Amino acid sequence: MNKILVLHGPNLNLLGTREPEIYGRTTLYDINAMIAARAKEAGIAVDFLQSNHEGVLVDTLQEVPKKGYAFVILNAAAFTHYSVAIRDAIAAIPTPVIEVHLSNIHQREEFRHHSVISPVVMGQIAGFGEDSYMAALEVVIRRLSEARS
């Protein structure tokens, strides 16, 4: 069975109540449950981690190869825009990482338009709310299926 890691960055633990006009009313628990259900259907094990701490996310990314994850789905949240440490951790591992965002960062404040992690990830999906995560998961499912064929 293949396994993936879903990493959630700072403030995503507040989903459902934090700026619902931007992030919606879906909670992080709801998003994780949707991902877990679809991953189970596809025969993929999934682990989740949310942290408000940059170092925890860096440490977790560095452990990805040892733990045998086939893919990482990452919403680095605010760290997307300035964390060279997270960018370097992604670049240091061979595991593909898909960047996701609930909102369309390119339609928001100017400082959110630039992602320092985009150059080192497989791709970015933004602006579709929880469906950003689900779209990333569908990419993972397809890629793992193709690798098995």
Give the pTM: 0.93
pLDDT, tens digit (0-9, with 9 covering 90-100), for 4-63? 999 999 999 998 888 777 777 889 999 999 999 999 999 999 999 999 999 999 999 999
**Active site includes 23?**
yes
Q: Candidates 3.30.565.10, 1.10.630.10, 3.40.50.9100, 3.40.50.620; correct CATH number of 2-114+123-148?
A: 3.40.50.9100
CB 71 within 8 A of CB 140: yes
Which position among 8, 69, 101, 133 bears the catalytic label? 101
pLDDT surpasses 60 at 1: no
Question: 140: which residues sit within 8 A by CB, 6+ positions away?
Answer: 4, 44, 70, 71, 73, 98
**Active site includes 69?**
no
Query: Residues of the chain with pLDDT > 70: what percent?
Result: 97
Question: 31: which residues sit within 8 A by CB, 6+ positions away?
Answer: 15, 130, 133
Which position among 23, 81, 82, 114 bears the catalytic label? 23
pLDDT confidence bin for 111, thresholds 50/70/90: low
pLDDT surpasses 70 at 134: yes
Across residues 97-112, what is the average pLDDT? 83
Identify the pLDDT of residue 110.
77
